Amino acid sequence: MTRTPLITAASVLFYFDALAWGVGVVPPLYYAFTYKALPTIFGIRLMGGPFESLGIDALIVAGIVFVVVSAFKGLAAYWLWNCRRDGAVLGLVLIWPSVIFWYGFALPLGPLLGIAEVVLLIVVWRTLER
């Protein structure tokens, strides 16, 4: 099966999502683990949000789970790149835990990526292999 430009766009968007959050969260997690506090850059508290009220240890655990969810988004992107419907199913399943983390870590770009991913998956659904 040949990959359409929309399938490519969906796959690239999932790869970006996986790498941006999966890799971008690791340095603040390391800092939080080492210093038991969240890092601040230019007055912005990284990974700050409602999860802060849970305490630093719970926030670190939530961050690690978020990295795992992001890694699975990379798998969804790989399957989408190969025109597999499994990738679309996994991507749709992973949107919901991602919403919790976007809210909990106050990540403003998360919902924008999520909406774009869902729209692209709906558009390409019928063109994917089973």
Token pair listed for 65: 């789970």
**Is residue 119 a contact partner of residue 5, using CB atoms and an 8 Å limit?**
no
Is the model's pLDDT at 1 over the cut of 90? no
pLDDT band at 2 (very low <50, low <70, confident <90, very high): confident
Q: Is the pTM of this model over 0.85?
A: yes
Token pair listed for 88: 């679309």
Is the model's pLDDT at 129 over the cut of 90? no
What's the mean pLDDT in 4-30? Answer: 94
Cα–Cα distance measured from residue 94 to residue 66, given in angstroms and rounded to the nearest whole number? 10
